[in-house]
Amino acid sequence: MSAAAAQQQGSMAFGVHLPHLGRQVSRDSLITFAQAVEHAGYTSAWVSDHVAWPAKIESKYPYSPDGSFAPPPDMGWLDPIGTQLFVAGVTQKLKLGFTVLILPYRQPIPTAKQLATLDVLSNGRLILGCGVGWMAEEAAILGMPWDHRGERTNEQLDLFARLFSEPNPSFDGKYYQIPEIGFEPKPVQKPVPVWVGGNTDAAYRRAGRYGHGFHAAFEPAAHVAHGWQQVLEHTKRAGRDPSAMTLSLRVYLDTQGTMEPAKSIYGSRQDMLDQVAAWRSLGVTHLILDPVARGGVTGRLEALLTFARDVMPGVSG
């Protein structure tokens, strides 16, 4: 059996995007939302990563047709790692992921410490979704270099692997150097699952070399299928097992019919079951729902709970 065929036969897990951004960001809404989706049977909860960005952006957002980035610079957006540390304390089972954490925005040692802390305090629930980012203006605001960010990201992943596993890690890379240090405690998970995001050849190579999974977001089926096949090929070339890789996908759960259909789950119960089956046939085994619904956080939560009640039981396997 091919690696792709093996992936297509895997069971489907469902995750949700948490309400950590927008006008209704609050402690109470996060607690209610996270605990409700955990109780409803969702496997994972995810957060996105932006820190601060200017009103004028020339960089092109890769997931909109015209390259524009819709959120205004004054929109509420909680820190992704801080949010997941909080959610870890009010849940018991939800896997806690990033869609995705932009590694070039961050210094690797403090980031590794935060991630290890999250895995320890959640008792092994971290999924390190990571990528290289797209907004040069934001990196500049944060005082971080934008050149060679792919190579810098690769070095961070190498460094994380050492910090998370070796008793006295050291590192001598092109961009990062550390002497022998103590780094404790280690994450509970050995290894921490790394799901690499992106839609470029470099991202596919990175996933094949470093990833335990590939994380696609808001991509039509043909793009997901192409990227996944590239990832599997690069995984083989790296001497790693393609059948051990996970393909995850973030899509809209669109109750309003306002988002691009090719990037959404929408329509009747049977429509949604058919759409889930189509994604599964491509190898997707972890589907992350980003709800779009009227009624703010409450409306988005209701859409997710309705999906869990009406659709998830009908997904075979």
Query: How much is the average pLDDT of 131-145?
Result: 98
24-34 pLDDT tens trace:
899 999 999 99
Is the per-residue pLDDT at 2 higher than 90? no
| Four-CA torsion 102, 106, 110, 111, nearest 10 degrees | 0
Give me the phi and psi of 95, to 5 degrees please. -65, 145
What confidence tier does 23 reach under pLDDT thresholds 50, 70, 90? Answer: confident
CATH code, domain with 215: 3.20.20.30
37-91 pLDDT tens trace:
999 999 999 999 999 999 999 999 999 989 999 999 999 999 999 999 999 999 9
Report if pTM > 0.85: yes
**pLDDT value of position 6:** 40
Tell me which DSSP letter residue 107 carries. Answer: -
Give me the phi and psi of 153, to 5 degrees please. -65, -45
- Indicate the number of domains in the chain: 1
Do 52 and 78 meet the contact criterion of CB atoms below 8 Å apart? no
Do 85 and 30 meet the contact criterion of CB atoms below 8 Å apart? no
Domain coverage including residue 73? 3-314
Is the per-residue pLDDT at 161 higher than 60? yes
Please give the Cα distance from 139 to 33 (Å, whole number): 31
The alpha-helical segments, DSSP class H, found in the chain are 3-8, 27-40, 80-90, 108-121, 136-141, 149-163, 201-210, 221-237, 269-281, 296-310
